[in-house]
Amino acid sequence: MRHLTEDKAMDVTGTTWILVADGDQARVFEERQRASDVREIEDRRMGRSGGDYPRAAAHGATVHDRAGHGQHGAGERAPHDEAEDRFLERVAESLAAPARDGVFQSLVIMAPPRALGVLRQALPKAAHAVLEGSDPHECVRETADDIRQRLRKVRAEA
C-alpha cells in the first residue's frame, strides 16, 4: 500500500507520524528524518472517554453483552463496539489539521486489524493522501524503539 509517489517516499527530510492505536488509546510518534530516532509526541496521546459511548435509547428486547456487563437492544451494535468506533473516528479526525497544515509529510498507522480498518475508513483526505503504510498488530504499549523497528519492517515490505 503506497499512496506516496516514489520520489516523495524516498525523501529523507520529511517528517513521518506513526499513529499507534487500539480501541482504548492512541499515541502518535514522530520520525523527523527517515531512518532517524522515533519519539512520542506526548500531547497527542488520546484515550477513550465516556462521551464515546452511545446514549441509552428506549427499546424493546435486550441482549446481554459478552464483552462485559452491558446490555443493548436486539439488532443493535454492542455499546462497546460503538464506543470503540467513535473513539477511533475521533483519533482519525485529530489528524486532519496537522496533515492539512503540512506538520507531517508521511503517515504510518499501527493498530489491530479491526481498529486499523476503522481508522483507514475515517482518515481525513489530507492524511489519507500521505499514508505510507500500516502494520496490523497490537502495539500501543510498545516503546519508541519498538515502534521504530516496526516502522522499518513496514517500509521494507512496501
Q: Can you give the pLDDT at residue 158?
A: 83
Q: Can you give the pLDDT at residue 54?
A: 72
Domain count, the chain: 1
For the chain, which ranges sit under pLDDT 70? 1-12, 52-53, 55-77
Q: Can you give the pLDDT at residue 128?
A: 97
> Which residue carries 516514489 as its cell?
6
pTM of the model: 0.79
Residue 109 lies in a domain: yes
Residue 108 lies in a domain: yes
Q: Can you give the pLDDT at residue 78?
A: 81
d(C-alpha 87, C-alpha 1), whole Å: 25
Pairing of strands 131-135, 106-110: parallel
> Which residue carries 459511548 as its cell?
53
Residue 94 lies in a domain: yes
Find the CATH number of the domain harbouring 147.
Answer: 3.30.420.60
Residue 1 lies in a domain: no
Which domain range does residue 113 map to?
A: 6-53+63-157
